[in-house]
Amino acid sequence: MRWPLAAFAAVLASALVAGFGDGASAQSAPADPVQALKKQMAAHGGVRFSRVAVDTTEDRSDVPSWMTKRKSKITFRSKGVVRFGGGKVTASDVTSRNSLIWSDESVRLVTFTGRSYMSGWPVQPLPAGKEWVLLDDDTTRPEMDSGRIRLADPATLRAVLATTTAKRPEGRYDGTRTTLYEGKITFGELSRAYPGFRLLTDGRPTAKDLRIEVS
């Protein structure tokens, strides 16, 4: 299995250096993307994002065939806003759609520490007159990630950037020049960078999982 991403992590890393399009911040942002990330998250700001991830595998035995419709490639699309404060992600508002079971509908998830609100519940109908369901869980945390890469974690970003094999100018975002970083990292390398790494909600990744590559 491989997880090719639409350059989201790389472009975001360069946007961090650029100060997320803030002209004043761009002039003073550190050249090191990891230090830029820490600086941005210490401020009370945030970032808008859109991303596309593709999960490709020859064997879809990891999920029931009725869910995948026997597809070997699943495309995930999402967009939203992530808010920062005090050196961490404080909230997120993400609308997602994928070709697994939600190909015709989108799901919106607004997350804070300890709780989330979901609209467009994909598994069962909501009660009459209700548009949102509360998911109350003390372990819930808002995240900024892509393809299992925790983009808001400095150690993870450092590990991802260490695998860079090429980089080039990638145009302007919000009027600020950016750089595209390209590379490939395994889930095993990600788990070493972030000990709390999880592949699925049912526990730690297996040895086979750890060999999966994210490009």
- Which residues 6+ apart lie within 8 Å of 41 measured at CB? 84, 85, 87, 88, 89, 152
157-161 mean pLDDT: 92
- Highest mean pLDDT among 6-10, 142-146, 153-157 belongs to 153-157
Q: Which residues contact 67 (CB under 8 A, 6 or more apart)?
A: 100, 101
Q: Which two tokens stand for residue 211?
A: 């060999």
Give counts: helices (H), strands (E), the chain.
Answer: 7, 13
List Cα–Cα distances, 174 to 23, 47, 58, in angstroms.
Answer: 9, 11, 39
Backbone phi, psi, residue 95, to 5°: -110, 125
Q: The domain containing residue 61 runs over which residues? A: 2-214
DSSP 8-state code for residue 206: P
Who's near 151: CB < 8 A, 6+ residues apart?
A: 9, 12, 13, 144, 145, 157
pLDDT in tens, 28-81: 544 688 888 888 888 778 888 888 877 776 554 555 554 444 456 778 889 999
| Whole-number pLDDT of residue 57 | 63
Tens-digit pLDDT profile for residues 102-122: 456 788 999 999 999 998 866
Task: Tell me how far CA of residue 4 lies from CA of 12, 74, 185, in angstroms.
Answer: 16, 11, 11
Number of domains in the chain: 1
The better pLDDT of the pair 8, 50 is held by 50
